[in-house]
Amino acid sequence: MDQYAVFEMALGLDGTPWKISAVEFDREKRRLNIQLNYPAGARFPHPGTQKPSPVYDSTPRSWRHLNFFQFECYLHAGLPRVDGGPGAGVKTVAVPWARPQSGFTLMMESLVLILAQTGMTAQEVAEVIGEYSQRVWNILFHHVDKAHRALQLGAVTTLSIDEVSRRKGHDYMTVVSEAGNREAGTPARVLVVVEGKSAQSVSTAANELAQRGLAPEKVKDVCIDMSAAFTAGVTATFTQATIAFDHFHVVQLANRAMDQVRRRERNGFPEELKHSRWLLLRPGESLTEDEKSKIAKIRRSHCQTGKAYNMLDSLRAIMRSPDRSESEAALWRWTSWVIRSRIPEMKRAAITIREHFEGIAQFIRTRITNAAAEALNGIIQCVKRKSRGFRSFHYFQTMIYLVASRLSFDLPNPIPVTHTKS
């Protein structure tokens, strides 16, 4: 087997008119150049009719391929146009190794996607392959947008909606995700990302989901935080869905109220409350024996912080209880107890929980949570920190879809499988 046959086999040219006519190494540029050609009289499928048609003319083109050892590799060919006859016109043919209007082979584009999915920023990928970062972004835009448009979401019935900050300040995005099901083998994934965190953002996300087969009336459950905007948006858009307020945000509300009590009392009780902030915010089961004794001292003191901690601890126990029917009744009794207390910060939290009671009770009944959404949010925040911001929403949205949407790409695998696990 000669060297040309080896390269033709590696490029997958079998069954096509394409043949390698020359392989040259440019020592000055440290680059391998592979010239491809087709025999005289070759015919190619017309892009419009798919009928084999004669070549009308050709235009020289080049494509960046995977490196040959440590050297850059380029494919060069005269890209033919074929004449399909009357009505069909003259059209440029597609080549098997690259997509139209791309300066990279499909193998190279696949490698770019794999590197970006592993956690590299677009700039880091560009440095690895020796290209401009915008060329990397162009690859990501094309394939991520195509794969995301191809999502079929008709089987989804439960959604989680959360907000993510785009940059410092009040610049947010709304992230709609699917929690997934371990028993069914369906992983959590981001479905749609839209700008803003308003009721209109929920409506915009619903339109995106509808384009992928998920009609709003098919959604049965939506888990959100206690945001008035999200509540209004879900109520108006997903008319057949039941809202469940995530227990994490319920406990967080009481947590913040308890911390406000501590801030108010820290000067009045310096001995008891000194260095107690993070200690009080942690759940009891994560505390050491020494830390538990410090908490017990605060509970025995005359400060309201100890009483607020008792209320918070009781709320945690209610939200964790496996007895769903008793938990719902216990939560109502908890709000009555706290509202009658003399701790204004905790009273406000209890009133808020009472106002959102039905949604919180729905969590108790169904145990639908935003836990998967919070995990995905952690991945998104990691991407944002590593990239140190994005020049526009589309760049950030594209990277979120790439790393958190479980997209499928119709591309060859540039990394050969050398072994399998038994």
Average per-residue pLDDT for the chain: 90
How much is the pLDDT for 1? 52
State the first-to-last Cα distance of the chain, in angstroms, to the nearest integer.
34
For range 79-102, the mean pLDDT: 91
For the entire predicted model, the pTM comes to: 0.85
d(CA 204, CA 195) in angstroms, rounded, equals 9
Residues 6 or more apart in contact with residue 229 via CB below 8 angstroms: 197, 198, 199, 201, 202
Distances 266 to 39, 270, 275, 280, 287 between C-alpha atoms, Å: 86, 6, 10, 13, 21
Q: What is the pLDDT of residue 404?
A: 93
| Residue 351 three-state SS | helix
pLDDT tens digit string along 252-305?
999 999 999 999 998 888 888 888 888 888 887 778 888 888 888 888 888 999
CATH class of 158-246+369-404: alpha beta
Per-domain boundaries in the chain: 3-146, 158-246+369-404, 247-365
Centre a 10 Å sphere on the Cβ of residue 342 and count the other Cβ atoms it contains. 8
